Amino acid sequence: MLKGLAVLFLALGAFVGAPVHSADQTVDPRVALLKLLPTGSKLDDLRPSPIAGIYEFSQGADVSYLTADGKYFLDGNVYDMDTRANLTEERRTKARLAMINSVPESQMLIFSPKNPQYTITVFTDVDCQYCRKLHSQMAELNKLGVRVRYMFYPRTGPNTESWRKAEAVWCSADRNEALTRAKAGGAVDTTKSCGANPVAREYALGQSIGVRGTPAIVTETGGYINGYMPPHELIEEIKQMQSGKQPG
């Protein structure tokens, strides 16, 4: 997310400072504002915010704000002072959930108890030490009723050893067993190829969601947990998020 904002600031730097004016009051004011935003931005990325005279700009789970005259770009959270609700985080949460729900479970690796009470989607890196620690506690997570859905997020990026390991796990006859073996430090045949695989798509999705490190955990209500937590602490965090409370 921070990387995306840095690119956005660079793009805006060439434009912001000259107010937007339109003599034609019938034209959607977002059309002029769109010219100030990075190439590829769409009209639907801009919508009126809860604050008069300010537009919300969102791409994936990145949410920021732009004044209606195009003079100021704002990065930060907007709170409702009556309810103390973080309105920006609510938008991020909805965006994360929509993006996660767009992925069929056939494109995930799933470790589930018989009767799950909670489902989490975890962006994982085969070589990440805390990802390995979380996976080593899979039996305890399942016992606590947690269903884990994995997506690949090799932090080192395309054409690296971790990326090739992720592809090799996907190409294995028993993907769950291959992932468990790889996370335990076992050998992975990175020469194995099976054509189309979801690694690149899931990596791009993680970037859109704002994954900054692994494991990155998304709850079934769209809440975001950045990093490893022991199973019992993770359960408490999930409960707080599902109750609508801000995590501590």
Q: Which domains does the chain have, with CATH numbers?
A: 2-78 (no CATH), 100-242 (3.40.30.10)
Mark whether 194 is an active-site residue: no
> How many other β-carbons are positioned within 10 Å of the β-carbon of residue 244?
10
Among residues 92, 131, 147, 149, the one annotated as catalytic is 131
With beta carbons less than 8 A apart as the criterion, state whether 106 and 172 touch: no
Query: Where does the pLDDT of residue 14 fall: very low under 50, low under 70, confident under 90, or very high at 90 and above?
Result: very low
According to DSSP, residue 97 is labeled H
How confident is the model over 185-203, as a mean pLDDT? Answer: 88
Mark whether 171 is an active-site residue: no
Residue 123 in tokens: 């962006």
What pLDDT score was predicted for residue 245?
57
pLDDT tens profile 44-82:
899 999 999 999 999 888 999 999 999 999 999 999 999
pLDDT tens profile 98-124:
999 999 999 999 999 999 999 999 999
What pLDDT score was predicted for residue 39?
83
How confident is the model over 177-201, as a mean pLDDT? Answer: 89
Among residues 91, 92, 128, 149, the one annotated as catalytic is 128
Query: What average pLDDT does the chain have?
Result: 87
Q: Is 43 exposed, middle or buried (0-12, 13-18, 19+ CB in 10 A)?
A: exposed
What pLDDT score was predicted for residue 248?
41
Mark whether 28 is an active-site residue: no
Among residues 92, 147, 155, 164, the one annotated as catalytic is 155
Looking only at the bridges linking them, the beta strands covering 79-80 and 85-86 are: antiparallel
Among residues 91, 92, 96, 125, the one annotated as catalytic is 125
- DSSP-derived 3-state class of residue 108: coil
